[in-house]
Amino acid sequence: GQNIDQPTEMTATEGAIVQINCTYQTSGFNGLFWYQQHAGEAPTFLSYNVLDGLEEKGRFSSFLSRSKGYSYLLLKELQMKDSASYLCAPLTGGYQKVTFGTGTKLQVIP
């Protein structure tokens, strides 16, 4: 089976930096996706990490440690529109399935 662990909710202030952590236990790990999902909408692709280390993409950065089964998403210069759920999703197995946990609901406050 697979286990994905993220905080359920987080609150951060507009303009600040927030780090959303994710630990996972999977079999046949290939890489890890991060998605953003606003309420009532489909997920939007943010990043995909295969190798260990930090990948930066504008205000969003994602880090992966394969040996520790750990990843985080770093959001800088938070904006109100960043209020959403953030989904950590490992890509696993021969069929390369992406599976999701319940995600982290981030609320950005003024």
Chain residues binding other proteins by CB under 8 A are: 31, 33, 35, 41-45, 48, 50, 87, 91, 95-103
Which is nearer to other proteins, 14 or 103 (by Cβ)? 103
Give me the DSSP letters along 41-63.
S--EEEEEE-SSEEEEETTEEEE
HSE-up (13 A, CA, CB side) for residue 26: 26
Instruction: Write down the least CB distance from residue 38 to other proteins, Å.
Output: 11
Minimum distance, C-beta of residue 53 to other proteins, in the bound complex (Å):
14
Query: Residue 15 CB, nearest distance to other proteins (Å)?
Result: 27
In the beta sheet, which residues pair with residue 44?
A: 36
Residue 84 near residue 37 (C-beta atoms within 8 A): yes
Q: Pick between residue 17 and residue 50 the one whose CB is nearest to other proteins.
A: 50
